[in-house]
Amino acid sequence: MFFAENLKLLRSRRGRSQADLSHLLNIKRSSLSGYELGTSYPTFDTLIKISSFFKISIDKFLKVQLNAISELQLSELEKGYDIDLKGNRMRVLATTVDSDNIENIEVVNIAAKAGYRNGFADPDFIKVLPTFQMPFLSRSKKYRTFQISGDSMPPVSNGSYVTAEYIENWTLIKDGFPYIVLTKDDGIVFKNLINQIDPKKSLLLCSTNKEYEPYEIDISEILEVWKFVNYIESTPPQQNMSKESLQTAVIKLQEDVDSVKNMLKL
């Protein structure tokens, strides 16, 4: 275990004294000194606090000798890029099943969107969401439906319901394809994505409505990614035909029907 030497290394790289860090973490300086010497170990709650402060996972804090990796790798970790891009580590995905043990498609409507940002990994939050099934979708994949607000992604209009597939491996995000992205700051957003994970560690979010400018988001700010599958429009398509054109079309259709009927009488 490399916790003691990793803690001392990271504190030094931040330019913090033991007194500074103990004050920031609200722990005793003597305790911090013991952690760095390896003569004592933090409680789990304190370990979480230290891990959060340095933005490095507990797993790496304990198991990876940070002074043995490259400066580039260590700098990436310190910037908050300790992220499982490929889904090799288990991500917490709360889900529900029906009476036949088949995965439900939970519905995150507009009323639930605000709560979803904090409750996406909480089984108690997810289990109260409305659910339904789409028999034609694969049972081996996980789907969720999100109600969209705004006009940034036509032809998907305000109030429509987008069903999307859960994506574990973010490196496989396809350029120009629509996705639901759950972010720490903005919550649920529906955009076309440009994959900039290699080398920029970011995604570019683009709208189909040209009035909205593309913007970049760091992957450390992303909580979930869902790939667009289909959508349900909440309003009927706009009628582009004039009243006169529609009347003409109906008359022509009636004439065609009469013609068929006459042929059948021959």
33 falls within a domain: yes
Structure tokens at 3: 């916790």
Q: Are residues 69 and 129 in the same domain?
A: no
Residue 107, beta-bridge partner list: 145
Kindly state whether residues 24 and 68 are assigned to the same domain: yes
pLDDT at 240: 60
pLDDT digits (tens, 9 = 90+) for 71-127: 766 776 776 666 666 666 555 678 999 988 889 999 999 999 989 988 888 889 999
Same domain, 117 and 165: yes
pLDDT tens for 155-214 read: 999 999 999 999 988 999 999 999 999 998 899 999 999 999 987 889 999 999 999 999
For residues 72 and 113, state if they share a domain.
Answer: no
Q: What is the 3-state secondary structure (H, E, C) of 91-149?
A: CCCCCCECCCCCECEEEECHHHHHHHHHHCCCHHHHCCCCEECCCCCCCCCCEEEEECC
pTM of the shown model? 0.64
CA 191, 195, 199, 201 torsion-angle sign? positive
Tell whether 214 is covered by a domain: no
Domain count of the fold of the chain: 2
Residues 54, 109 share a domain: no
Residue 68 lies in a domain: yes
208: helix, coil or strand? coil
- Residue 190, in any domain of the structure: no
Burial track 211-250 (b if 16+ CB lie within 10 A, e otherwise) = eeeeeebbbeebbbbbbbbebeeeeeeeeeeeeeeeeeee
Structural domain harbouring 135: 105-171+225-232
pLDDT tens by residue, 218-246: 988 898 999 999 999 877 656 565 667 66
Cα radius of gyration (the chain): 27
pLDDT of residue 262: 66
pLDDT of residue 131: 96
Rounded to an integer, the average pLDDT of 140-169 is: 95
Q: Which residue has the higher pLDDT, 125 or 257?
A: 125
Q: Determine, yes or no, domain membership for 118.
A: yes
**pLDDT, tens digit, 9 for 90 and up, residues 16-39:** 999 999 999 999 999 999 999 999
